[in-house]
Amino acid sequence: MYINFTAMKFKLPELPYAQESLEPAISRQTMGFHYGKHLQTYIDNLNGLIEGTPFAEMPLEQIVKQSDGGIFNNAAQTFNHTFYFETFSPNGQRHPEGKLAKAIEKKWGNFEAFREEFSAAAVSLFGSGWAWLSKNADGELTITKESNAGCPLTSGLVPLLTIDVWEHAYYLDCQNRRAEYVKKLWDIIDWSIVEKRFE
Ligand code: MN
Protein backbone atom coordinates (compact mmCIF):
# COMPACT_ATOMS: atom_id res chain seq x y z
CA MET A 1 0.00 0.00 0.00
CA TYR A 2 1.28 3.46 -0.90
CA ILE A 3 1.27 5.98 1.95
CA ASN A 4 1.64 9.65 1.10
CA PHE A 5 3.57 11.05 4.07
CA THR A 6 3.70 14.54 2.57
CA ALA A 7 -0.08 14.90 2.79
CA MET A 8 0.14 14.09 6.52
CA LYS A 9 2.95 16.56 7.20
CA PHE A 10 1.28 18.52 9.99
CA LYS A 11 -0.77 16.79 12.67
CA LEU A 12 -3.00 17.97 15.50
CA PRO A 13 -0.59 18.61 18.41
CA GLU A 14 -1.13 16.46 21.49
CA LEU A 15 -2.27 18.47 24.50
CA PRO A 16 -0.26 18.14 27.72
CA TYR A 17 -3.56 18.16 29.71
CA ALA A 18 -7.02 16.60 29.55
CA GLN A 19 -9.61 18.54 27.54
CA GLU A 20 -11.90 19.02 30.56
CA SER A 21 -9.08 20.03 32.91
CA LEU A 22 -9.16 23.76 32.06
CA GLU A 23 -12.74 24.14 33.33
CA PRO A 24 -14.26 26.49 34.33
CA ALA A 25 -11.99 28.87 32.36
CA ILE A 26 -12.45 26.90 29.11
CA SER A 27 -15.14 24.21 28.95
CA ARG A 28 -14.73 20.68 27.60
CA GLN A 29 -17.26 21.62 24.93
CA THR A 30 -15.23 24.62 23.73
CA MET A 31 -12.06 22.49 23.68
CA GLY A 32 -13.88 19.90 21.60
CA PHE A 33 -14.80 22.44 18.94
CA HIS A 34 -11.87 24.89 19.16
CA TYR A 35 -9.02 22.39 19.48
CA GLY A 36 -10.71 19.32 18.03
CA LYS A 37 -12.44 20.88 15.02
CA HIS A 38 -11.27 24.45 14.26
CA LEU A 39 -7.55 23.71 14.69
CA GLN A 40 -7.90 20.35 12.91
CA THR A 41 -9.51 22.13 9.94
CA TYR A 42 -6.66 24.68 9.68
CA ILE A 43 -4.16 21.81 9.73
CA ASP A 44 -6.08 19.81 7.11
CA ASN A 45 -6.38 22.90 4.88
CA LEU A 46 -2.65 23.66 5.27
CA ASN A 47 -1.65 20.09 4.37
CA GLY A 48 -3.85 20.23 1.28
CA LEU A 49 -2.58 23.64 0.14
CA ILE A 50 1.16 22.92 0.52
CA GLU A 51 1.12 19.48 -1.07
CA GLY A 52 3.43 19.49 -4.09
CA THR A 53 4.77 23.01 -3.34
CA PRO A 54 8.16 24.04 -1.83
CA PHE A 55 6.27 24.79 1.44
CA ALA A 56 5.73 21.04 1.94
CA GLU A 57 9.44 20.74 2.88
CA MET A 58 9.49 23.65 5.34
CA PRO A 59 8.98 23.80 9.09
CA LEU A 60 5.79 25.59 10.16
CA GLU A 61 7.44 28.83 11.34
CA GLN A 62 9.21 29.23 8.00
CA ILE A 63 5.93 28.78 6.11
CA VAL A 64 4.35 31.49 8.29
CA LYS A 65 7.24 33.88 7.52
CA GLN A 66 7.38 33.24 3.76
CA SER A 67 3.81 32.59 2.59
CA ASP A 68 0.76 34.74 1.91
CA GLY A 69 -2.89 34.22 1.02
CA GLY A 70 -4.53 30.93 1.93
CA ILE A 71 -1.31 29.16 2.83
CA PHE A 72 -0.35 31.97 5.23
CA ASN A 73 -3.83 32.03 6.80
CA ASN A 74 -3.86 28.31 7.53
CA ALA A 75 -0.17 28.07 8.52
CA ALA A 76 -0.43 31.05 10.89
CA GLN A 77 -3.68 29.75 12.40
CA THR A 78 -1.98 26.37 12.95
CA PHE A 79 0.99 28.08 14.64
CA ASN A 80 -1.15 30.54 16.66
CA HIS A 81 -3.56 27.91 17.98
CA THR A 82 -0.81 25.44 18.86
CA PHE A 83 1.00 28.25 20.70
CA TYR A 84 -2.23 29.28 22.49
CA PHE A 85 -3.23 25.79 23.65
CA GLU A 86 0.33 24.96 24.76
CA THR A 87 0.36 27.98 27.11
CA PHE A 88 -2.25 26.55 29.48
CA SER A 89 -2.13 24.03 32.29
CA PRO A 90 -4.59 23.16 35.07
CA ASN A 91 -1.96 23.41 37.83
CA GLY A 92 0.69 25.76 36.51
CA GLN A 93 2.73 28.70 37.72
CA ARG A 94 0.31 31.64 37.83
CA HIS A 95 2.83 34.51 37.96
CA PRO A 96 6.01 35.27 36.00
CA GLU A 97 9.26 34.81 37.89
CA GLY A 98 12.94 35.47 37.27
CA LYS A 99 14.13 37.42 34.21
CA LEU A 100 10.66 37.65 32.65
CA ALA A 101 9.17 39.09 35.86
CA LYS A 102 11.97 41.70 35.87
CA ALA A 103 11.34 42.58 32.21
CA ILE A 104 7.61 43.03 32.90
CA GLU A 105 8.34 45.22 35.94
CA LYS A 106 10.80 47.30 33.90
CA LYS A 107 8.20 47.99 31.20
CA TRP A 108 4.90 48.16 33.15
CA GLY A 109 5.93 48.73 36.77
CA ASN A 110 4.22 45.59 38.03
CA PHE A 111 2.46 42.43 36.86
CA GLU A 112 -1.02 43.80 37.54
CA ALA A 113 -0.44 46.83 35.28
CA PHE A 114 0.83 44.53 32.51
CA ARG A 115 -2.20 42.28 32.90
CA GLU A 116 -4.54 45.25 32.58
CA GLU A 117 -2.87 46.50 29.39
CA PHE A 118 -2.76 43.04 27.83
CA SER A 119 -6.41 42.37 28.70
CA ALA A 120 -7.42 45.76 27.27
CA ALA A 121 -5.60 44.96 24.02
CA ALA A 122 -7.46 41.63 23.74
CA VAL A 123 -10.86 43.08 24.62
CA SER A 124 -10.56 46.14 22.36
CA LEU A 125 -9.30 44.31 19.24
CA PHE A 126 -11.93 44.91 16.55
CA GLY A 127 -13.28 41.76 14.92
CA SER A 128 -11.34 38.49 14.84
CA GLY A 129 -7.68 38.25 15.81
CA TRP A 130 -5.03 37.73 18.45
CA ALA A 131 -3.46 39.79 21.25
CA TRP A 132 0.27 39.06 21.67
CA LEU A 133 3.09 39.61 24.12
CA SER A 134 6.41 39.38 22.28
CA LYS A 135 10.10 40.11 22.70
CA ASN A 136 11.85 42.33 20.15
CA ALA A 137 15.44 42.13 18.88
CA ASP A 138 16.62 44.27 21.83
CA GLY A 139 15.01 41.88 24.32
CA GLU A 140 12.26 44.38 25.19
CA LEU A 141 8.66 43.31 25.69
CA THR A 142 5.84 44.59 23.47
CA ILE A 143 2.07 44.08 23.26
CA THR A 144 0.54 43.97 19.77
CA LYS A 145 -2.88 43.33 18.28
CA GLU A 146 -3.12 41.23 15.11
CA SER A 147 -6.21 40.84 12.93
CA ASN A 148 -7.39 37.51 11.55
CA ALA A 149 -4.43 35.08 11.38
CA GLY A 150 -1.81 37.76 12.15
CA CYS A 151 1.33 36.49 13.85
CA PRO A 152 4.33 38.45 15.30
CA LEU A 153 6.77 36.05 13.60
CA THR A 154 6.24 38.05 10.40
CA SER A 155 7.49 41.22 12.18
CA GLY A 156 10.66 39.53 13.43
CA LEU A 157 9.35 39.34 17.00
CA VAL A 158 9.65 36.38 19.37
CA PRO A 159 6.11 35.49 20.50
CA LEU A 160 5.69 34.77 24.23
CA LEU A 161 1.97 34.75 25.02
CA THR A 162 -1.25 35.07 23.03
CA ILE A 163 -4.99 35.35 23.51
CA ASP A 164 -7.30 34.17 20.72
CA VAL A 165 -10.20 36.60 20.46
CA TRP A 166 -11.99 34.98 17.52
CA GLU A 167 -15.55 34.41 18.71
CA HIS A 168 -15.14 30.63 18.30
CA ALA A 169 -12.70 30.77 21.26
CA TYR A 170 -15.36 31.92 23.74
CA TYR A 171 -18.88 32.02 22.31
CA LEU A 172 -20.04 28.66 23.73
CA ASP A 173 -18.89 29.63 27.24
CA CYS A 174 -19.33 33.41 27.38
CA GLN A 175 -21.44 34.27 24.31
CA ASN A 176 -20.67 37.93 23.46
CA ARG A 177 -18.83 38.67 26.74
CA ARG A 178 -15.22 38.72 25.53
CA ALA A 179 -13.94 40.52 28.63
CA GLU A 180 -15.26 37.69 30.83
CA TYR A 181 -13.40 35.11 28.70
CA VAL A 182 -10.15 37.12 28.81
CA LYS A 183 -10.39 37.49 32.60
CA LYS A 184 -10.78 33.71 33.07
CA LEU A 185 -7.68 32.91 31.00
CA TRP A 186 -5.38 34.35 33.68
CA ASP A 187 -6.39 31.34 35.84
CA ILE A 188 -4.94 28.80 33.36
CA ILE A 189 -1.87 30.52 31.84
CA ASP A 190 1.28 28.68 32.94
CA TRP A 191 4.04 31.29 33.27
CA SER A 192 6.77 28.65 33.44
CA ILE A 193 5.99 28.02 29.74
CA VAL A 194 6.07 31.75 28.90
CA GLU A 195 9.42 32.05 30.73
CA LYS A 196 10.96 29.27 28.61
CA ARG A 197 9.95 31.16 25.45
CA PHE A 198 11.51 34.36 26.82
CA GLU A 199 14.92 32.82 27.57
MN1 MN B 1 -9.26 30.06 17.49
* Average pLDDT of span 104-111: 98
Give 85 Cα–ligand 1 centroid separation in angstroms.
Answer: 10
Centre of ligand 1 to C-alpha 75, Å, is 13
Say which DSSP state 142 is in. Answer: E
**What is the CA(84)–ligand 1 centre distance, in A?**
9
pLDDT in tens, 29-42: 999 999 999 999 99
CA distance 24 to 28: 9
How far from 28 is each of 53, 67, 141, 152, CA to CA, in Å?
A: 37, 33, 33, 29
In angstroms, what is the span from residue 106 Cα to ligand 1's centroid?
31
What is the rounded average pLDDT of the residues 162-182?
A: 97
What is the 2 CA–ligand 1 centroid distance (Å)? 34
Cβ atoms of 136 and 142 within 8 Å: the answer is yes
Task: Report CA(34)–ligand 1 centroid distance (Å).
Answer: 6
